[in-house]
Amino acid sequence: MSKRKTGNPTWSDVKSVVTGLNQKELLKLVADLYRFSKENKAFIHARFAVGDDPMAPYKKTIEASMYPDMYEDKPVQISKAKKAITSYSKAIGDSLGEIDLMVFFVECGNNFTVNCGDMDEGFYDALIRMYRRSIQKILSLPKDEQSVYKDRLEKIMTSASDIGWGYHDMLSDEYYSAFPEDE
């Protein structure tokens, strides 16, 4: 029997065990992880580009978190929506997909407040931070790849014109600072 290491296990500990597995054992491990949770399934689908839209489960989580069903008394879950973006990013490392999810996050939250009423300052702060982050990532793209995201950001800003808390003003400041040619 091998001596067990005390303390918290690390990736190095796991890696040393996994490298000793044969193909069949490794396949069983991946299958067990796949069946273990919806998050693992989404991760594996995204990583291996399996299915029609690897972003679909992440978008579903973002939409349910940022535009929850009010009739079922579901809360807004900003951290869960942000985690979906991070999880997608870790699964695939696709910057365009990450930008798409970031803009989708703001679209969902913006639509929720436009259609359902005023929210609190923390909600708007989260939307503005994600709007700002998405702009930074969009500006790192070649000019010819920016337009589709830029149009979506402009639509968000325009639709927020009647929202309080300085939200619309902040969106406008962020948008026109990034895209002064549109002013």
- Domain containing 123 equals 23-182
Residue 176 is assigned to a structural domain of this protein: yes
- Let me know: does 143 contact 171? Beta carbons within 8 Å: no
Residue 124 is assigned to a structural domain of this protein: yes
Residues 6+ apart with CB under 8 A from 162: 114, 168
Domain count along the chain: 1
Residue 158 is assigned to a structural domain of this protein: yes
Q: Which residue has the tokens 């973006």?
A: 85
Residue 2 is assigned to a structural domain of this protein: no
Residue 7 is assigned to a structural domain of this protein: no
Q: What is the rounded average pLDDT of the residues 57-68?
A: 96
Alpha carbons 167 and 183: distance in angstroms, whole number: 18
88 vs 18 pLDDT, higher one: 88
Residue 101 is assigned to a structural domain of this protein: yes
Q: What is the rounded average pLDDT of the residues 77-99?
A: 94
- Residue 1 pLDDT class (50, 70, 90 cuts): very low
- Let me know: does 105 contact 85? Beta carbons within 8 Å: yes
Residue 3 scores a pLDDT above 60:
no
Residue 17 is assigned to a structural domain of this protein: no
Q: Please, what is the average pLDDT of the chain? A: 91
Determine the pLDDT at residue 182: 80
